[in-house]
């Protein structure tokens, strides 16, 4: 079954109740049992069935099955947010006083939770530029339990070779966990390259309409699923059934949205290269992107995230932010509308400049999430804003 077909049909109820085409919203906190014996069997796990929405719900399960199918994984677990997915996985697979190697320019809250929260339990974190596999190998220690990569990375759009990362992790009996948010399973399926666990922020491409927050965990095998599911149930980072339904609706148009937005992105990247007030462009589809060959190998397309540098550093970035009209000045990404942000003055303003730049987040960096508008309108809006930067 192809990717577009899976996104529309995977997870649909096998036996519709009233012949419904859309999965219903089962907005119920608890589920009744026909008799006491059936209740006992469900609690013991001898039979399938729903008990309480924190532990499972038909609408949520439909979404879990859909995304597990898209990722070619064993099973999915939906969570309230992307960070709930990440923290649940890390709480499960990291032991006290263990070690994790992570992408340096990983999503900001992921780095914070490792540095500020997991460190309280003796977990040691090493952040390296994972786009160079040698950096991963050199950072591994005897007590490394996890290699965590985000590819493409946020906001630098650098690419990690998933096959190389998996080989290194497995040689040292560590797990490879991949944040696949920026690519989505339509463009990249980490299990095909050796990953053990995949996490997503469903808020982004999978939902695609900037009206839901949610997360997803998908495991390669049953063993990892059986380890993580009880932790999710106990810590309670459960998705709401209505959230799940909205994401299911969004996933149905995933292929259309990704194809349109990445087509726009490819043309915008070329436009930016030629603009006199742009100093550099990072887009995996450009032949001079440092990991273009890796992206071609492990992705089915180059996505719709672009980072680029503007003249005059932070001030130049602010000028662009203050002069766009069609592009929306906001964080997040992956919606049908194009979003733009300036990390050095916004999302990463509290990070010391030296630390920011070591992670590739330069003063002049602008991050662009390209949406599904008409290319000419996006180009003209960017051109007007960029031309406001003084020569």
> Which pLDDT value is given to residue 351?
74
Residues with catalytic roles: 54, 107, 179, 204
Cα 373 off chain centre by: 22
What string of DSSP letters covers 130-187? TTSHHHHHHH--TTEEEEEEESS-TTT-----HHHHHHHHHHTT-EEEEE-TTT-TTT
Q: Which two three-digit tokens encode residue 261?
A: 């937005």
Instruction: Evaluate whether 17 touches 24 at the Cβ level (below 8 Å).
Output: yes
pLDDT 10s digits, 264-305: 999 999 999 999 999 999 999 999 999 999 999 999 999 999
Expressed in angstroms, the distance from the first to the final Cα of the chain is: 53
> Which pLDDT value is given to residue 198?
99
Query: If 0-12 CB within 10 Å is exposed, 13-18 middle and 19+ buried, where does residue 120 land?
Result: exposed
> Which pLDDT value is given to residue 288?
96
pLDDT per residue rounded down to tens, the chain (391 residues): 899 999 999 999 888 889 999 999 999 999 999 999 999 999 998 999 999 999 999 999 999 999 999 999 999 999 999 999 999 999 999 999 999 999 998 988 999 999 999 999 999 999 999 999 999 999 999 999 999 999 999 999 999 999 999 999 999 999 999 999 999 999 999 999 999 999 999 999 999 999 999 999 999 999 999 999 999 999 999 999 999 999 999 999 999 999 999 999 999 999 999 999 999 999 999 999 999 999 999 999 999 999 999 999 999 999 999 999 999 999 999 999 999 999 888 877 777 788 888 888 899 999 999 999 999 999 999 999 999 999 8
> Which pLDDT value is given to residue 347?
76
Q: Which domains does the chain have, with CATH numbers?
A: 3-251 (3.40.640.10), 254-386 (3.90.1150.10)
């Amino acid at each position: 079954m192809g990717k577009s077909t899976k996104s529309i049909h995977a997870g649909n109820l096998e036996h519709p109740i009233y012949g419904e085409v859309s999965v219903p919203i089962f907005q119920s906190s608890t589920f009744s049992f026909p008799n006491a014996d059936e209740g006992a069997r469900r609690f013991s796990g001898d039979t399938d069935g729903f008990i309480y929405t924190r532990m499972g719900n038909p609408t949520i399960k439909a979404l879990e099955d859909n995304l597990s199918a898209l990722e070619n994984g064993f099973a999915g677990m939906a969570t309230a947010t992307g960070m709930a997915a990440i923290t649940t996985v890390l709480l499960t697979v990291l032991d006290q006083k263990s070690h994790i190697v992570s992408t340096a320019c990983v999503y900001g809250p992921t780095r914070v939770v490792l540095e500020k929260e997991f460190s309280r339990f003796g977990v040691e974190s090493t952040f390296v530029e994972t786009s160079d596999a040698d950096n991963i190998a050199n950072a591994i220690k005897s007590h490394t339990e996890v290699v965590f990569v985000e590819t493409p990375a946020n906001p630098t759009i650098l690419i990690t070779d998933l096959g190389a990362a998996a080989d290194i992790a497995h040689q040292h009996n560590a797990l490879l966990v991949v944040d696949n948010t920026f690519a989505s399973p339509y463009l990249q399926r980490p299990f095909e390259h050796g990953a053990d666990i995949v996490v997503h922020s469903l808020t982004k491409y999978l939902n695609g309409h900037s009206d839901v927050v949610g997360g997803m965990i998908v495991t390669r095998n049953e063993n990892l699923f059986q380890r993580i599911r009880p932790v999710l149930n106990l810590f309670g980072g459960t998705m709401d059934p209505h959230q799940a339904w909205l994401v299911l609706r969004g996933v149905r148009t995933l292929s259309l949205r990704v194809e349109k937005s990445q087509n726009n992105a490819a043309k915008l990247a070329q436009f930016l290269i030629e603009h006199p007030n742009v100093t550099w462009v990072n887009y995996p589809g450009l032949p001079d992107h440092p990991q273009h060959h890796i992206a071609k190998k492990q992705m089915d397309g180059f996505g719709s995230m672009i980072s680029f540098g503007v003249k005059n550093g932070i001030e130049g970035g602010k000028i662009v932010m203050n002069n766009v009209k069609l592009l929306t000045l906001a964080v997040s990404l992956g919606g049908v509308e194009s979003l733009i942000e300036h990390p050095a003055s916004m999302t990463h303003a509290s990070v010391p400049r030296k630390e920011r730049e070591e992670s590739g987040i330069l003063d002049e960096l602008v991050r662009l999430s390209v949406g599904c508008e008409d290319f000419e309108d996006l180009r003209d809006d960017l051109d007007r804003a960029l031309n406001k930067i003084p020569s």
